[in-house]
Amino acid sequence: MKRKIAHIVGVIICIILAPILIMNITITIKSYVNPEQVPDFFGIKPFIVLTWSMEPAIQKGDLVITKTTDPATLNVGDIISFREGETVITHRIEELTEQNGEPAFITKGDMNQSTDAKTVSYSQVESSYLFKVAGLGDIAMFMQTPVGILVLVGFPLTGLILYDVIRRRLDSRKDTAGAGDAQAEIERLKAELAMKDGRSIGGICDAMPALACVESE
């Protein structure tokens, strides 16, 4: 029972770690191939919060998960991630406005006293907020490094795979040993039955003339 539970837990961990590893590798590769673009994984863009400007809704060190969105569908109160130079900022839409005759947004951090100095054009919008994972930002930064991938994902995943391989081999050996014991028991029973049959025939021969015994063999 314990072994079965351990196997189920191992499978669950693998199911969780494998997508994380694939997503992290994909985002890392995209960031190197297209450094001028924010990398995504099927439209999903994770961002690490480095300031306190969105507290209490979003805190420093959180990992925010966003998705690529049509800016025309956004409204006041939505939280968006937008590019300002080489930086991506996650703030809330305070007002819909125009910039050079084009639709734009006035944004503000929840903790800030005033709105952001510059308006945000549609072309600057990267994605809209889905949810956050509290405190995962620092870990996510570490995971973006080769060492982080190995330590937090690669090693655990490899360990689980090795554990499963070793467990299967041990089970196979036990099954083989069990089969050998069963075969030995079968042979013992056969020998015992043969001995019983021999004693029965011998008893019959003792009660019959020698000639009859010879004929019966």
* Residue 214 confidence (pLDDT): 46
* Residue 213 confidence (pLDDT): 46
C-alpha distances (whole Å) from 211 to each of 106, 184, 200, 203, 207 are 119, 38, 18, 15, 12
Per DSSP, which regions of 15-99 are E strands?
44-48, 63-67, 79-84, 87-99
pLDDT tens digits along 89-127: 999 999 999 988 999 999 999 999 999 999 999 999 999
For the chain, the distance separating the N- and C-terminal CA atoms, rounded to the nearest angstrom, is 55
30 by Cβ neighbours in 10 Å (0-12 / 13-18 / 19+) ranks as: middle
Neighbouring-strand partners of residue 80: 91, 128
* Residue 6 confidence (pLDDT): 63
Q: Give the strands of the sheet with 63-67, arranged side by side.
A: 44-48, 63-67, 125-133, 79-84, 87-99, 102-108, 120-121
With H, G, I as helix, E, B as strand and everything else as coil, classify residue 151. Answer: helix
* Residue 212 confidence (pLDDT): 47
* Residue 158 confidence (pLDDT): 80
* Residue 179 confidence (pLDDT): 61
List, for the chain, all residue ranges whose pLDDT scores fall below the cut of 50.
Answer: 204, 208, 210-217
Q: What is the phi/psi pair of residue 119, to 5°?
A: -75, 160
